[in-house]
Amino acid sequence: MIFNQFFDEVSSTFTYLISSGKGREALIIDPVLEKTHEYISYLKKLDLKLVKVIDTHIHADHISGLKELHKQTDCTLIMGENSRSEVVNLKIKDNEKIKIENIEVISMYTPGHTDCSYSFLMKDRIFTGDTLLINGTGRTDFQNGNPIDQYHSLFQRILKLPENFFVYPAHDYKGNKVSTIGDEKRNNPRLKVKSADQYAELMNNLNLDNPKMMDVAVSANITGKTLDELN
């Protein structure tokens, strides 16, 4: 299997490329527009055909590469059914299977960071978007985010997975690349709470600044418009 993790230094975003082998079909999760050339170059180098691209949610800190990748490869664009995106051409439900050749990815609705946040399971790993981060969790104070929803997504769904499951988030700001469910249970300070109400109190008092690109990124990622078209 081919599994490659790309990193965008500007937004600290991880993008994942998955394929069953050289010359086969490929899937990308959470692409960043400015890195499109890097993904295309990697696909060409390994003679891969990009057939499906997933965004875990509407991103607020960068512009997604969905539309540009579709333009260059005619791939299918996928998000969860709760997404407001006007760009995607396939919206999936909870627990739906996404297949490319002999690779299967299963959707898991994990709202809280946003109301359209999905995670994606594959064999021994989970792509958690901004729901579960390494030693953290995604903020819940915009895009219909809700800390109670996120608590249930974390404790009733994601953390029920086997402890040896690898955790691949959409972001990391401290140089981490991968964790496990067990490591997060043991070490993640956001998961030390005793109740949903305690978690909500924690998240509601973070007082974080808005992402720098939030005003343009959310609109661009919903409509597929360029920055020039939005201005």
Which pLDDT value is given to residue 188?
Answer: 98
Distance of CA 36 to the CA centre of its chain: 16
Which pLDDT value is given to residue 229?
Answer: 67
The number of domains in the chain is 1
Which pLDDT value is given to residue 228?
Answer: 64
Q: What sign results for the dihedral spanned by CA atoms 17, 19, 22, 24? A: negative
- Residue 185: CATH number of its domain: 3.60.15.10
Closest CA to 226 of 73, 13, 68, 15: 68
For residue range 37-78, list pLDDT tens digits in order.
Answer: 999 999 999 999 999 999 999 999 999 999 999 999 999 999
For residue range 156-212, list pLDDT tens digits in order.
Answer: 999 999 999 999 999 999 999 999 999 999 999 999 999 999 999 999 999 888 888
Residue 22 has pLDDT above 90, yes or no: yes
For residue range 92-144, list pLDDT tens digits in order.
Answer: 999 999 999 999 999 999 999 999 999 999 999 999 999 999 999 999 999 89
Closest CA to 158 of 139, 182, 141, 189: 182
Spatial distance between the Cα atoms of 225 and 231, rounded to a whole number of angstroms: 10
The sheet carrying 118-122 orders its strands as: 97-100, 103-109, 118-122, 125-129, 166-169, 179-180
Q: How confident is the model at residue 152 (pLDDT cuts 50, 70, 90)?
A: very high
Average pLDDT for residues 209-216, to the nearest whole number?
83
Which pLDDT value is given to residue 231?
Answer: 59
**What range does the domain containing 178 cover?**
2-230
Predicted TM-score of the model (pTM): 0.95
